[in-house]
């Protein structure tokens, strides 16, 4: 994640991984989530923070999830319904459950099917926010498979040349194991910037860059300016642009990728795209696992991955840059540091947690 989104040192409060897991799990349980699902959801969020993906960790998302449970928008104890199944696929209705609490089981089913058929795909509609989709792709990679996960969300992103949002940030992730090198993990929105990063930017006082957002008219903003005023997770009347920003820089490619995600999540699950819904829509997800052993020798695959990743890191650098990295390497290094020294949270986030736990009669969050 870009340095601008990190918590300034003056505002950092370090929290241990175990303390954060405990607090998040207890808050989920207080919202009516069963204990096993609460622990699973806490792992999704805390893993994001451990790996430096604060936009999808506890700082931004926990308060949103709590508000959705308290308002009744999400069901804390859903009964997901299987809509159809074959040896290599399954489709579910999520019964308004929170995606981060449902995704682990959905991906594991895809993995189990991939063991039997070579490839397993599971879709889910009528579900809540999925968090960092890379978490679920990594779930497959840790079991000797290539994992793919994507999700379609509320309409925040303009189509190229459009003046009204039509699709979500619709992130795509893919993860693959290596033999000795840190796993490859690509996890990115198909918009120029993830919507959650606007909230982070407001909290830490960062600017938005050219090509990230557009005026209400749909005109791309091509200068540096402060984050638009508004609620923490709103866009202040602006819209996000597809990956690329402008047509000249390839926004049609980001827009096409976002639509691809819509088809593989929404249409394939029998859901309705956000652009065709008047109310705040729930999300639609896609989980896929490719059993490497069904295609080639897993050891050879991982050895080739090692050679590829090492070659990338050994690439000569352009002036002003210290090294070349591949997707997943910086996050791996951040995880090592944060497991040892604690996770840096903003003081405002600590205050929110303490207020939240107090309202539930729970112990506050412990700091390092």
132: domain CATH number is: 3.30.1370.60
**Model pLDDT for residues 250-287, shown as the tens digit of each residue:** 999 999 999 999 999 999 999 999 999 877 779 999 99
Given a cut of 50, is residue 337 above it in pLDDT? yes
Residue 201 in any domain: the answer is: no
pLDDT reported for residue 339 = 96
Closest CA to 290 of 177, 150, 123: 177
Q: Are residues 254 and 347 in the same domain?
A: no
Number of folded domains that form the chain? 2
Please report which confidence band the pLDDT of residue 237 belongs to, taking 50, 70 and 90 as the band edges. Answer: confident
Given a cut of 70, is residue 233 above it in pLDDT? no
Q: Are residues 66 and 117 in the same domain?
A: no
Q: Are residues 10 and 150 in the same domain?
A: no
Across 210-226, average pLDDT: 90
Q: Pairing state of beta strands 239-240 and 184-188?
A: unpaired
Residue 213 in any domain: the answer is: no
Across 197-205, average pLDDT: 77
Both ends of the chain: CA-CA distance in Å? 24
Please report which confidence band the pLDDT of residue 195 belongs to, taking 50, 70 and 90 as the band edges. Answer: confident
CATH code, 3: 1.10.1530.10
Q: Are residues 98 and 181 in the same domain?
A: yes
Q: Are residues 104 and 248 in the same domain?
A: yes
Given a cut of 80, is residue 293 above it in pLDDT? yes
Residue 49 in any domain: the answer is: yes
pLDDT reported for residue 232 = 47
Q: Are residues 166 and 256 in the same domain?
A: yes
**Model pLDDT for residues 35-91, shown as the tens digit of each residue:** 999 999 999 999 999 999 988 999 888 999 999 999 999 999 999 999 999 999 999
Quote the mean pLDDT of the chain.
Answer: 94
Q: Are residues 262 and 150 in the same domain?
A: yes
Which is higher by pLDDT, 228 or 132?
132
pLDDT reported for residue 60 = 82
For Cα atoms 291, 296, 300, give the angle at the middle one, nearest 5 degrees.
Answer: 110
Q: Are residues 246 and 102 in the same domain?
A: yes
pLDDT reported for residue 209 = 87
Q: Are residues 311 and 358 in the same domain?
A: no
Residue 93 in any domain: the answer is: yes
Given a cut of 90, is residue 335 above it in pLDDT? yes
Q: Are residues 165 and 312 in the same domain?
A: yes
* Cα(291)–Cα(293) distance, integer angstroms: 5
Please report which confidence band the pLDDT of residue 207 belongs to, taking 50, 70 and 90 as the band edges. Answer: confident
pLDDT reported for residue 208 = 84
Q: Are residues 141 and 154 in the same domain?
A: yes
* Cα(357)–Cα(329) distance, integer angstroms: 34
Torsion of the alpha carbons at 11, 15, 21 and 26, rounded to the nearest 10: -70
pLDDT reported for residue 1 = 66
Residue 94 in any domain: the answer is: yes
Residue 117 in any domain: the answer is: yes
pLDDT reported for residue 266 = 97
Across 126-151, average pLDDT: 97
pLDDT reported for residue 36 = 97
pLDDT reported for residue 140 = 98
**Model pLDDT for residues 110-133, shown as the tens digit of each residue:** 999 999 999 999 999 999 999 999
Residue 202 in any domain: the answer is: no
Going from the C-alpha of 288 to that of each of 57, 173, 177, 354, the distances in angstroms are: 23, 10, 15, 38
Residue 329 in any domain: the answer is: no
DSSP code, position 89: E
- Parent domain of 155: 80-192+241-324
* Residue 233, C-beta contacts closer than 8 angstroms, at least 6 positions apart: 60, 64, 195, 196, 198, 199
Q: Are residues 131 and 270 in the same domain?
A: yes
Q: What percent of the chain has pLDDT over 70?
A: 97
Task: Write out the E strands in the chain.
Answer: 12-15, 81-86, 89-97, 119-127, 145-152, 172-176, 184-188, 207-208, 213-214, 225-226, 239-240, 283-291, 343-346
């Amino acid at each position: 994640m870009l340095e601008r989104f990190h918590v300034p040192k003056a505002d950092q409060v370090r929290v241990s991984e175990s303390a954060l897991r405990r607090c998040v799990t207890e808050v989920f349980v207080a919202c009516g989530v069963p204990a096993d699902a609460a622990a699973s959801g806490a792992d999704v969020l805390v893993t994001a923070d451990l790996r430096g993906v604060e936009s999808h960790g506890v700082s931004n998302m926990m308060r949103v999830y709590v508000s959705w449970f308290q308002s009744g928008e999400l069901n804390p104890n859903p009964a997901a319904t299987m809509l159809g199944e074959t040896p290599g696929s399954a489709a579910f209705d999520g019964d308004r459950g929170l995606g981060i609490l449902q995704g682990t089981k959905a991906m594991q089913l895809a993995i189990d099917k991939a063991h039997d058929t070579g490839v397993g795909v599971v879709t889910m509609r009528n579900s809540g926010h999925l968090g960092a989709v890379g978490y679920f792709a990594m779930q497959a990679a840790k079991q000797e498979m290539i994992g793919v996960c994507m999700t379609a969300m509320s309409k925040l992103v303009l189509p190229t040349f459009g003046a009204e949002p039509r699709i979500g940030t619709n992130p795509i992730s893919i993860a693959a194991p290596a033999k000795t090198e840190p796993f490859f993990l690509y996890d990115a929105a198909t918009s120029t910037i993830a919507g959650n990063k606007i909230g982070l930017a407001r909290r830490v006082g960062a600017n938005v860059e050219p090509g990230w957002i557009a005026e209400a008219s749909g005109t791309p903003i091509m200068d540096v300016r402060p984050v638009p005023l508004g609620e923490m997770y709103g866009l202040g009347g602006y819209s996000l642009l597809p990956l690329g920003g402008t047509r000249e820089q390839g926004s049609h490619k980001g827009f096409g990728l976002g639509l691809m995600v819509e088809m593989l999540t929404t249409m394939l699950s029998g859901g309705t795209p956000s652009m065709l819904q008047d109310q705040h829509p729930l999300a639609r997800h896609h989980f896929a696992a490719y059993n490497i052993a069904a295609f080639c020798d897993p050891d050879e695959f991982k050895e080739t991955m090692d050679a590829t990743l090492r070659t990338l890191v050994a690439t000569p650098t352009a002036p002003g840059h210290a090294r070349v990295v591949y997707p997943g390497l910086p996050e791996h290094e951040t995880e090592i540091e944060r497991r040892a020294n604690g996770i840096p949270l903003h003081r405002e986030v600590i205050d929110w947690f303490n207020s939240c736990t107090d309202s539930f009669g729970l112990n506050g969050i412990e700091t390092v």
